[in-house]
Structure 1
Amino acid sequence: MRTGTTFRVSALPTALIDTICSSGRDAAGRPVETVVAGGGEPLRCCLRDAEAGEALLLFGYAPPVAAGPYREIGPIFAHVTGCPGPDQAGGYPAAWRGRPQVLRAYDRRGRIHGGRRHDGTDPESVIAELFADPAVRQLHSRNVVYGCFMFAVDRAE
């Protein structure tokens, strides 16, 4: 693992999930769906895969990036209630280590500024490489097959 770059991984804030639940609407104004997990759905509230039978929300989410042409809304899963959050607060999600992902880099204006695919064995090295560019302000981890947002990675200041 490459050292020298400190970063923070962000799961969905509990307050956002509470707002989604109380309004019943997602980032696009569409109704939120409640589903029963088949198992394996990536949960953005606790940064692990769902177990079969868990009650989940499925809704459109706009990842944290400045408003502009690169801001998008995509589907994500989260627990309906009672989520304890990520096991390893701030670090790379242990449950997703070994999962290939794309790290998409964004600059301060919210524009895509490069990216890399990694195989999941040493994501910290890829994070460090992308953050070596001073123009990169944030990374979004994305599912390789579906392109869905998984979590944000910020420089630790």
Structure 2
Amino acid sequence: MYTIHAIDAGTLETVRRTRLDASGNAPEPYVATGGEPLRCCLRDATEGERLLLFGYEPKLPPSPYREIGAVFAHASACSGPAAPGYPADWAHKPQVLRAYDARGWIHPSTRVHDGTDPEASLAAILAHPEVVRVDSRNIAYGCFMFTVTR
């Protein structure tokens, strides 16, 4: 059993309120053309939605594997993911499933799933007792999508 996590509401509220991202840059306002992956509610945007594009650093312990990447989220607070479980809009998209151990180091069980059965890929990674989290990442751009924990 596992839990899928969007970017937490507190982090999103801080970015919206301070107008600063993880690098200290101002988030870029953006009007969706449709299909942008929203890390606040774990779905694809629809045309015309008001978004922010900003640098996000997934929360890892201090390690060489910490990094900042661009993500989209709603410009205003939203209700978050509509349902628990693997995000429906992304279930058939190939993704990198990057596994981490408790030190925040990448675990060798990291893999690419081809979009046919992401839940089986997650189960195989989480079968390794050293793995404490898995971050799904966009296969083309490497951007953070969501986190999975036991």
TM range, smaller chain: over 0.9
Mapped contact 1:106–1:136 kept (Cα < 8 A):
yes
Q: Which residue of 2 aligns with 1:58?
A: 53
Q: Which runs of 5+ in 1 are unaligned?
A: 1-5
Residues 24-39 of structure 1 aligned to structure 2 (within 5 Å): 24-39=19-34
Indicate whether 1:83 and 2:98 are aligned. no
Q: Which residue of 2 aligns with 1:144?
A: 139
- TM-align CA RMSD: 1.0
The letter for the 1-side match of 2:96 is V
TM-aligned CA deviation for residue 24 of structure 1 = 0.5
- Give aligned pairs, total: 149
Q: Which runs of 5+ in 2 are unaligned?
A: none
Mapped contact 1:64–1:152 kept (Cα < 8 A):
no
Q: Which residue of 2 aligns with 1:3?
A: none
TM-score by length of 1: 0.91
User: Percent same amino acid at aligned positions?
Assistant: 54
Q: Equivalents in 2 of 1:29, 1:68: separation in Å?
A: 20
Q: Which residue of 2 aligns with 1:105?
A: 99
Mapped contact 2:100–2:106 kept (Cα < 8 A):
yes
Q: Which residue of 1 aligns with 2:4?
A: 9
The letter for the 1-side match of 2:143 is C
TM-score by length of 2: 0.95
TM-aligned CA deviation for residue 30 of structure 1 = 0.9
The letter for the 2-side match of 1:111 is W
Q: Equivalents in 2 of 1:14, 1:82: separation in Å?
A: 8
Q: SS at 1:112's partner residue?
A: coil
TM-aligned CA deviation for residue 128 of structure 1 = 0.9
